[in-house]
């Protein structure tokens, strides 16, 4: 019954609308036409033209006002060597694009005002101008080519091979956190294999490779100041992105496609705490790809230490090898490497070697 009433109501409303439409049409037909062509000009013609200019002025003032007052919010202090290069490129590009932006906006809104309807104005037929076409094709092409080529040159320097003796750390993004792995005493990261990933072996350490037996995995990224740091980056499930604005660093973490990024931190965490007057300051490692429902929580901490502090931190950490913390995984180590693995990882054998291997669940 209710449905029927709704259908009838809809039909009635449609009928009313159609009738109103027909009536207005008929009124238009019988209404005497004014000869004056101004009759078709909307009454707010000039007001709209003025609004266009106002919008231009308020918009441009707002743009510069915001850029100036919020400068420190979007332009954090640079704390890496290459940061100064990318910063220079950024501001050159910004200067050119802002100039072009302002000029085009002046034309866009200024012309809307200048050429608003006036009775005495007549449209000028002007279909083509080869010189103009050449100018606005060639000039932007040269400027853009120069921007891109000079940018690419710097970019290939920044993303080129890391210098010899860089500090190597592996960073893996996963839903929804970061994991870090250091090479340990031997200075080499062991192989990983995604098939080895489980609830505990979250980075998929392949224990058949002896280089991984002394790898350790702290909960935060700790790096030395003034030394090149090479991040070997990968993703475990979807694409994440390793991002820190202070270092002017960003590199995608892609499953199945290892990427890397090297840089030289120039200001330690302690120095930044002094500089900012914030005793809780930390460099943050945030994910810069919308990677799922808890993307917002993907925050890690990067601690930059002075070289000597870093060395003692490393020495302390390298005793906590991953294998030592998870001795059950000794069962995955091939027989002939077992003894070396026990030494490299620093596992303390309480009983004999056999029983520790048998006690494993894997």
Smaller CB separation from Cu ion, 205 or 287: 287
Task: Give me the residues paired with residue 231 across strands.
Answer: 169, 261
User: Counting contacts by CB under 5 A, is residue 291 touching Cu ion?
Assistant: yes
Identify whether the C-beta of residue 182 lies closer than 8 Å to the C-beta of residue 218: yes
Q: How far is the CB of 284 from Cu ion (least distance, A)?
A: 13
Both tokens of 231, joined, read 């991040």
Instruction: Outline where the chain has alpha helix (H).
Output: 2-30, 45-69, 71-74, 83-114, 130-158, 269-276, 307-317, 322-325, 335-345, 353-358
Q: What is the dihedral of CA 83, 89, 94, 95, to 10 degrees?
A: 120
Q: How far is the CB of 322 from Cu ion (least distance, A)?
A: 23
Q: Which has the closest alpha carbon to 237: 203, 201, 209?
A: 203
Smaller CB separation from Cu ion, 225 or 240: 240
User: Counting contacts by CB under 5 A, is residue 221 touching Cu ion?
Assistant: no
Q: Which of 181, 213, 236, 240 binds Cu ion (CB under 5 A)?
A: 240
Instruction: Count the residues of the shown chain that bind Cu ion, applying the rule CB under 5 A.
Output: 4
Q: How far is the CB of 178 from Cu ion (least distance, A)?
A: 9
Residues 52-71 that bind Cu ion (CB under 5 A): none
Q: Which of 287, 302, 305, 333 binds Cu ion (CB under 5 A)?
A: 287
Q: Which stretch binds Cu ion (CB under 5 A): 1-9, 84-92, 292-300, 346-354?
A: 292-300
* b/e map 37-69, b = 16+ CB within 10 Å: eeeeeeeeeeeebeebeeebeeeeeeeeeeeee
Smaller CB separation from Cu ion, 204 or 327: 204
User: Counting contacts by CB under 5 A, is residue 302 touching Cu ion?
Assistant: no
Q: Which stretch binds Cu ion (CB under 5 A): 80-88, 146-154, 179-187, 236-244?
A: 236-244
- For residue 310, CA distances in Å to 45, 313, 317 come to 70, 5, 10
Q: How far is the CB of 275 from Cu ion (least distance, A)?
A: 29
Instruction: List contacts with Cu ion (CB under 5 A).
Output: 240, 287, 291, 298
């Amino acid at each position: 019954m209710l449905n029927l009433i709704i259908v009838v109501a809809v039909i009635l409303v449609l009928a009313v609308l159609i009738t109103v439409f027909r009536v207005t049409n008929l009124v238009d037909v019988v209404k005497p036409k004014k000869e004056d062509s101004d009759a078709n000009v909307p009454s707010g013609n000039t007001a709209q033209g003025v609004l266009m200019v106002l919008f231009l002025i308020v918009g441009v003032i707002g743009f510069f006002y915001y850029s100036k007052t919020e400068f420190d919010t979007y332009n954090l202090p640079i704390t890496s060597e290459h940061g100064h290069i990318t910063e220079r490129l950024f501001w050159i590009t910004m200067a050119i694009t802002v100039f072009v932006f302002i000029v085009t906006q002046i034309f866009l809104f200024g012309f809307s005002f200048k050429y608003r309807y006036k009775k005495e104005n007549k449209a000028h037929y002007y279909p083509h101008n080869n010189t103009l076409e050449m100018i606005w094709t060639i000039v932007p092409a040269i400027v853009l080519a120069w921007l891109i080529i000079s940018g690419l040159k710097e970019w290939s320097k920044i993303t080129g091979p890391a210098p010899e003796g860089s500090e190597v750390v592996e960073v893996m993004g996963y839903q929804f956190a970061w994991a870090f792995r250091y090479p340990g005493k031997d200075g080499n990261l062991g192989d990983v294999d995604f098939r080895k990933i489980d609830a505990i072996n979250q980075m998929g350490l392949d224990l058949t490779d002896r280089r991984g037996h002394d790898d350790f995995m702290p909960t935060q990224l700790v790096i030395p100041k003034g030394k090149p740091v090479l991040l070997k980056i990968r993703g475990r499930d979807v694409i994440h992105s390793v991002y820190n604005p202070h270092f002017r660093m960003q590199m995608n973490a892609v499953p199945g496609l290892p990427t890397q990024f090297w840089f030289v931190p120039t200001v330690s965490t302690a120095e930044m705490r002094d500089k900012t007057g914030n005793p809780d300051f930390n460099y943050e490692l945030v994910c810069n790809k919308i990677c799922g429902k808890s993307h917002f929580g993907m925050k890690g901490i990067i601690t930059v230490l002075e070289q000597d502090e870093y060395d003692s931190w490393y020495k302390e950490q390298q005793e906590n090898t991953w294998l030592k913390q998870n001795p059950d995984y000794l069962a995955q180590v091939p027989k002939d490497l077992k003894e070396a693995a026990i030494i490299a990882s620093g596992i303390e054998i309480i009983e004999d070697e056999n029983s520790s291997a048998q006690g494993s669940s894997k």
